Amino acid sequence: MKIVILAGGSGTRLWPVSRQNNPKQLQSILGKDTLLQRTYKRMRLGFSAKDILVATGKSHDASVRKQLSEIPKKNVLVEPVKRDSAGAIGLAASRVHAQNPEEVLLSVHADSWIDDGKRFIATVKSAESILKKYPNHTLMFGIKPSYPETGYGYIQLNKKVVHQKNNPVYSVKRFIEKPNLAHAQKFAADNKYLWNPGWFAWRVDVLLSHYKKYLPKNYTILKRIGHAPESGLQKTINKEFPKLKSIAIDYGIHEKLKKLLVIPCSLSWADIGHWRSVSEMSKKDRDGNTVAGESVLLDSSNNLLMSSSKKLITAVGVNNLVMIETDGVILLVHKDRAQDVRELIKQFKSNKLKNYL
């Protein structure tokens, strides 16, 4: 079984800490280790370094190799341009397929928070035995919602396929992408709905057959990359990869498949994708505040307040606020609008503020 860690995102919702050339997965958002290092160490609980690949962008290549110094050089797959998850996963699949067409590939994101690494590894390792029994299926993993999150995708369960006490397996009825609050509240209260954390497993020959059927131009390009010799691999990637259609694998392939299975996971999980999720995963004082630095707060609760300049942070009568200060930037946003930071920075491109990206 091989693992690919997707580490090419830009992390725009965690701006201004996350920037284009130093995105969230390469930074220590939660604790000493970076998000990438935390993910890698979690995977190392059950897999060897030679079985872990990382897909990342060319501007992040050096940082990835420095942070993951024990990983084999050939296991860092460098994308010359962004081509979304279908591009990154297809790149990994093409290289794994060249070594073993029947290998199982698991894709995970570099920016997830998980409370129990050992239980996570035990769950994902079950993919091998399940896909041995159902080789033509795509296997997904779902998380029971702990609150009505509108920024996540959801998976609706269908019938139970594998009747076992640990890690029962269900067929998938449908996907729901980022529902409104009313629907999210309904899903969170219904055991038939799970969050979609974006962990997928396939036999690589089956996965590439889906590319051939649903993304045929991408398949032809990935085939050329897969056949490239190790000595000329990056040159081939630089030439062929930009020709790929940029699309998420969910839209390009998964939503068109019928043979989908899902394992409900008993894990606490969060996508460290916006400042509210950072707040939820951080230590808090008795009033629910997370403060990085010295502070004096009066009648203030449930705030995330961070300053990189070591200035004294003070607040009066402030609730559910995110305040992030970095060199040259101060961000203020209500926690309920944390997802909208991405929309905020879109305005920079037309306002000659690109140097802040």
Give the DSSP per-residue string, 81-106.
S--HHHHHHHHHHHHHHHH-TT-EEE
Q: Which of 78, 70, 25 is nearest to 49 (CA)?
A: 70
Beta strands in 182-337 (DSSP E): 193-196, 200-203, 260-265, 269-271, 290-292, 295-298, 304-307, 313-316, 321-326, 329-334
Would you kindly state where each structural domain of the chain is located, as residue ranges?
A: 2-273, 276-356
pLDDT digits (tens, 9 = 90+) for 192-230: 999 999 999 999 999 999 999 999 999 999 999 999 998
What whole-number distance in Å separates Cα of residue 324 and Cα of residue 327? 10
Contact 123, 117 (CB under 8 A): no
Ramachandran assignment for 320, one of left (phi > 0), alpha (psi -120 to 50 degrees), beta (any other): left
Whole-structure pTM value? 0.89
pLDDT tens by residue, 283-307: 899 999 999 888 999 999 999 999 8
pLDDT at 309: 83
Structural element, H or E, at residue 207: helix 204-214
Residue range 2-273 in CATH 3.90.550.10? yes
pLDDT at 180 over 80: yes
